[in-house]
A and B are shown apart, each in its own frame.
Chain A
Amino acid sequence: MNRFAIRCAAGLSVPFLLVACSSAPSSPADSSSGGQVTITVGDRPTSSDPANRAQYDQKVADFEKANPDIKLNPVETLWDPTTFQAQAAGGQLPDVLNVPFTEPQGMIARKQVADLTKVLKDDGLLSELNPNVLKIAQDQSGNVYAVPTAAYSVGLVYNRNLFTKAGLDPNKPPATWDEVRADAKAIAQKTGQAGYAQMTTNNTGGWMFTTQTYAFGGSIENADGSQAAFDDAPSKAALQALHEMKWVDKSMGQAVLYDIDGISKAFSAGKIGMYMSAPDAYRTLVNVNGLKASSFGIGPMPQQGGDHGTLSGGSVQIVSPSATDAEKAAAVKWIKFSYLNKYVDQSAAVTSAKNGVAGKLPVGVPGLPVIAADQWSTYQNWIKPYVNVPLDNFAPYTKVAADQKIIPEPPVKAQEVYAALDPVVQTVLGNQKADIPALLTKAAGTVNAKLGR
């Protein structure tokens, strides 16, 4: 019964893992002597992806040539929720790492990221970044802990092919949740597939419920993050809409448990008509899971009872908390060179777009500007000849998204709050007799206990 023995070992090793993490932070690869600074930079593509790895390595070489006083040590470390805590605690984080929008607030609270306010000011980069998007990387006193390099707002991804089969107009995705319900019902009745689905597991349930609550005009925490704020009418209406689609219209299929991977696969297989996601889902759906590009459609986040807004998504670059000032400055230079130069320099934009096409990555996926808006549109013009995604399919999103209000994640312990909300969404979708007000009151109690800790 080795499996059980392995489990025993795994259980007993939890404290061990924690201890393994608790050695004093040190990063031997990082040093600065005689004016030369060495930093480790993450996200190098693995050798199973030779084209993108070669491009990455070329970028490293170009950077070192342009900055002879900085030496880069590229590593394949990617952000991974299961290893990040251990790496942060053990001082093993690369100096620069790409992480998703859901993470910086928790990292700031746990002091796992470096404060970049001063270096960003000295560099001048701070004034160039889009202040709306930058909020995701700031604490409550305005200090900046990360650099946003790609930003999206959550919208509604839909299958254009299923829309057509259901007799709906594929160029006109639903704009309100009442329309979502009507379209989902039509898809389910005409095609037999789930008209609408929503993520529910591994904190994605709470994450997407938050987005939906925002679209119904509600909020998750109060302004200073000390109290749960979702035990109110907008959240109830959001859950009621789900309940009716699932149990009255029967337009949400049988499956209740979806995480990002599961819902992407089911959507790409043509089993789902619509789900909430950001435009960057295009890569996962089309390039990874084989959805036909012509079937991909995205509209803005449907709103209910007014224009309330939606949640943002994307990626930021963080810097290791153990980095020295010189290493921080070098890290910011690399972030600018690697991720942001293309927005301000035409030849960098063209090279990056050409590389994307060669590496079979989607080029030109619309998103929110991480830099000032006029510069952003200049950049879009530069890369126009290389765009390899069907921009028309993004048109319903792009027409509205720029003006839709962006609401950041709940300010305190967002992941723990999401975890407490997962079962709420699962119950509404799994139990016809779910008592929505009681579920929200109970979850609010759980969340308040967590916020008070």
Chain B
Amino acid sequence: MLFALPVLLVFVVFSWGPILKGLVMSFQQTNLIDPVKWVGLENFRYVLTDPGVGQAALNTVWFTLLALLFGFPVPVLLAMFLSELRGRSWLYPTLAYLPVITPPVVAILLWRFFYDPSPSGMFNSILGSVGLGPFLWLDSPHSAMPSIVLEATWAGAGNAVIIYLAALTSVRADLYEAAELDGAGVVRRVWHVMLPHLRGVLLLMLLLQVIGTMQLFTEPLLFTGGGPQGSTMTILLLIYNYAFVNGDYGAATALSVLLALVLAVVSAVFQLATRGWSTE
């Protein structure tokens, strides 16, 4: 117990304490200088009637869905493909991992340059040479979120690939040999050997991805500031704006508490629904 005390203290001071304090602040109005004023559920009433919150919630769910649809399968497929490659086994995972090394802010500013909506923009020039576009990318409310998903997938895939590859190395080689001897092609090897082994990791990564994507922040902040027409305003960006642009900490913590509640419910439902799936 004595040995655990330092760790426990760190958790109390830097994790649980602030979480509790955040909960308390969601019932207060404060500028952090004057004495606090208790306002009951006023902050919750305010954020729930703010038309921006509804749109931000929809945008956040939209991003989560898009990221699941496109962002989730890409690293799985990439990892399976890489594990099939023989020779230079260090090279391809390294290449896949490279985008992760780029600092997010640098990557986003680079992509903002790529996404220049004029016909002379980089992506538009490339696509223009095969007769496509020009596209508005971030500057249209319809394509802004998919554009962000594209960048986020590029930036995040490397990490997931490494994890899936590690899981795949634990698959015994004789299983593949047995499958090959039984005449199984690539598709059947993936379906009957690889996927069952990845199941546990896949479920965990799915949950982490849902929690992570529902907290999308850096990309909309730097790419679009929540625009165009509020189409990339997410819950976390709104919390940030409440707190650090408007100085309204009550509203910021109230919305944080609501987001945490939603995530807790999603996680619990996910756990219940998938109980038993993760073991063979």
- Please determine whether chains A and B interact with each other in the same assembly: yes
The answer to whether A8 touches B18, judged by C-beta atoms less than 8 angstroms apart, is no
* Chain A at the B interface: SS class: helix
CB-CB under 8 A for A255 and B252, given A4-B213, A11-B259, A426-B228:
no
The answer to whether A426 touches B215, judged by C-beta atoms less than 8 angstroms apart, is no
CB-CB under 8 A for A82 and B213, given A18-B252, A255-B139, A427-B229:
no
The answer to whether A453 touches B46, judged by C-beta atoms less than 8 angstroms apart, is yes
| B165 interface residue (CB < 8 Å to A) | no
The answer to whether A4 touches B211, judged by C-beta atoms less than 8 angstroms apart, is yes
Task: Mark the stretch among A154-162, A340-348, A394-402, A413-421 that contacts chain B.
Answer: A413-421
- Distance between A299 CB and nearest chain B CB, rounded to angstroms: 26
- Distance between A414 CB and nearest chain B CB, rounded to angstroms: 11
Task: Mark the stretch among B25-33, B85-93, B181-189 that contacts chain A.
Answer: B25-33
The one of B14, B104, B212 that contacts A16, using a Cβ cutoff of 8 Å = B14
Q: B240 contacts which chain A residues (CB < 8 A)?
A: 14
Specify which of A7, A22, A85 lies most central, judged by the most chain B CB atoms within 10 Å of its CB: A7
Q: B249 contacts which chain A residues (CB < 8 A)?
A: 18
The answer to whether A1 touches B252, judged by C-beta atoms less than 8 angstroms apart, is no
A3 to B151, CA, bound (A): 13
Q: A198 contacts which chain B residues (CB < 8 A)?
A: none
CB-CB under 8 A for A449 and B49, given A7-B217, A21-B32, A89-B32:
yes
- Distance between A315 CB and nearest chain B CB, rounded to angstroms: 19
The answer to whether B246 touches A16, judged by C-beta atoms less than 8 angstroms apart, is no
Q: A82 contacts which chain B residues (CB < 8 A)?
A: 244
Q: How large is the interface on B (under 10, 10 to 19, 20 to 34, 35 or more residues)?
A: 35 or more
Q: B32 contacts which chain A residues (CB < 8 A)?
A: 18, 21-22, 85, 88-90
The one of A14, A446, A449 that contacts B252, using a Cβ cutoff of 8 Å = A14
The answer to whether B224 touches A201, judged by C-beta atoms less than 8 angstroms apart, is yes
A404 to B140, CA, bound (A): 37
- Distance between B78 CB and nearest chain A CB, rounded to angstroms: 13
| A106 interface residue (CB < 8 Å to B) | yes
Q: A363 contacts which chain B residues (CB < 8 A)?
A: none
Q: B21 contacts which chain A residues (CB < 8 A)?
A: 15, 18-19, 22
CB-CB under 8 A for A423 and B229, given A8-B215, A254-B139, A415-B246:
yes
The answer to whether A11 touches B252, judged by C-beta atoms less than 8 angstroms apart, is no
The answer to whether B236 touches A11, judged by C-beta atoms less than 8 angstroms apart, is yes
CB-CB under 8 A for A254 and B117, given A81-B245, A89-B32:
yes
Q: A8 contacts which chain B residues (CB < 8 A)?
A: 208, 211-212, 215
Q: How many residues of A contact B (CB 8 A)?
A: 60
Nearest-neighbor residue (CB-CB) of A321 within chain B: B33
Can you list 27 A-B pairs with a CB-CB distance of less than 8 A? A1-B208, A4-B208, A4-B213, A7-B212, A7-B236, A8-B208, A10-B217, A11-B217, A12-B260, A16-B15, A18-B25, A18-B243, A81-B244, A85-B244, A90-B32, A110-B33, A255-B118, A255-B139, A256-B227, A257-B224, A271-B118, A321-B33, A419-B246, A426-B229, A426-B230, A431-B229, A449-B50
Nearest-neighbor residue (CB-CB) of B257 within chain A: A15
CB-CB under 8 A for A4 and B209, given A110-B247, A201-B225:
yes
A39 to B138, CA, bound (A): 46
Q: A200 contacts which chain B residues (CB < 8 A)?
A: 227-228
A111 to B17, CA, bound (A): 27
Nearest-neighbor residue (CB-CB) of B116 within chain A: A255
Q: A140 contacts which chain B residues (CB < 8 A)?
A: none
Interface residues of A in 57-92 (CB under 8 A from B): 81-82, 84-86, 88-90
- Distance between A114 CB and nearest chain B CB, rounded to angstroms: 11
Nearest-neighbor residue (CB-CB) of A11 within chain B: B215
Q: A259 contacts which chain B residues (CB < 8 A)?
A: 225
Q: A327 contacts which chain B residues (CB < 8 A)?
A: none
The answer to whether B213 touches A3, judged by C-beta atoms less than 8 angstroms apart, is no
- Distance between A125 CB and nearest chain B CB, rounded to angstroms: 26
| B134 interface residue (CB < 8 Å to A) | yes
What per-residue 1/0 map shows which CB atoms of A19-36 lie under 8 Å from chain B?
111100100000000000
Q: B259 contacts which chain A residues (CB < 8 A)?
A: 11
The answer to whether A16 touches B18, judged by C-beta atoms less than 8 angstroms apart, is yes
A259 to B18, CA, bound (A): 34
The answer to whether A422 touches B225, judged by C-beta atoms less than 8 angstroms apart, is yes
What per-residue 1/0 map shows which CB atoms of B152-164 lie under 8 Å from chain A?
0001100110010
16 A-B pairs besides A423-B228, A446-B51 with CB distance below 8 A are: A1-B163, A12-B15, A12-B19, A14-B22, A14-B243, A18-B25, A18-B32, A86-B244, A111-B31, A112-B247, A200-B227, A257-B228, A415-B246, A427-B228, A430-B140, A453-B46
A292 to B249, CA, bound (A): 45
| A366 interface residue (CB < 8 Å to B) | no
| A202 interface residue (CB < 8 Å to B) | yes
A324 to B127, CA, bound (A): 63
| B100 interface residue (CB < 8 Å to A) | yes
What per-residue 1/0 map shows which CB atoms of B14-55 lie under 8 Å from chain A?
110111011101000011111000000000001001111000
The answer to whether A416 touches B246, judged by C-beta atoms less than 8 angstroms apart, is yes
| A248 interface residue (CB < 8 Å to B) | no
Interface residues of B in 200-240 (CB under 8 A from A): 205, 208-209, 211-213, 215-218, 224-230, 236, 239-240
The answer to whether B138 touches A257, judged by C-beta atoms less than 8 angstroms apart, is yes
What per-residue 1/0 map shows which CB atoms of B46-72 lie under 8 Å from chain A?
100111100000000000000000000
A40 to B49, CA, bound (A): 42
Interface residues of A in 118-141 (CB under 8 A from B): none
Nearest-neighbor residue (CB-CB) of B21 within chain A: A19
| A235 interface residue (CB < 8 Å to B) | no
CB-CB under 8 A for A3 and B33, given A14-B22, A201-B227, A430-B228:
no
- Distance between B166 CB and nearest chain A CB, rounded to angstroms: 13
A1 to B116, CA, bound (A): 28
Q: A426 contacts which chain B residues (CB < 8 A)?
A: 227-230
The answer to whether A19 touches B244, judged by C-beta atoms less than 8 angstroms apart, is no
| B241 interface residue (CB < 8 Å to A) | yes
| A203 interface residue (CB < 8 Å to B) | yes
What per-residue 1/0 map shows which CB atoms of A362-391 lie under 8 Å from chain B?
000000000000000000000000000000
| A48 interface residue (CB < 8 Å to B) | no
| A253 interface residue (CB < 8 Å to B) | yes
The answer to whether B159 touches A3, judged by C-beta atoms less than 8 angstroms apart, is yes
Q: B82 contacts which chain A residues (CB < 8 A)?
A: none
A288 to B241, CA, bound (A): 28
Specify which of A85, A86, A427 lies most central, judged by the most chain B CB atoms within 10 Å of its CB: A85
A124 to B245, CA, bound (A): 34
| B128 interface residue (CB < 8 Å to A) | no
A81 to B221, CA, bound (A): 13
